Chains A and B, each alone.
Chain A
């Protein structure tokens, strides 16, 4: 076989790992705060209070989602499945009291 001089450079931890871990930290720092989460998977929206972070899942006491039957229970949400979110901060707008009236 011919000498292969192609070089693959790896950095450990990789940028992807750093971003993934930092995202978990964001949620860990937000325990006790209200959160708004959009995911591409059903039921798409979660609004509630962050209770805990377990591994790379965030546990949310969900008050509002698209489906009434799925509200008022704890949901464990995979952090890396979240597409967009907002953890309520002091001095920033509050998450509106969204209610579904369909």
Chain B
């Protein structure tokens, strides 16, 4: 197997793994944060504005790890630096 097809194969497999593993962790984290926020809104409906604002910001923070994984996967597929080195 020549190096071009090897790089292509490894890039595709690894980008799939990146997005798969990298989305599981943030999904669990966001689910936990959301369930806690729902519980606290149910307990204190008056504070729902503050809670949901903090929830949004926290979700964005958690989600950014998934976004990093997504960007890495996109780089591996579309603008792979090793690929362009070999293919010229």
Our verdict on whether A and B bind, yes or no, reads: no
Give residues in A with beta carbon < 8 Å to B.
Answer: none
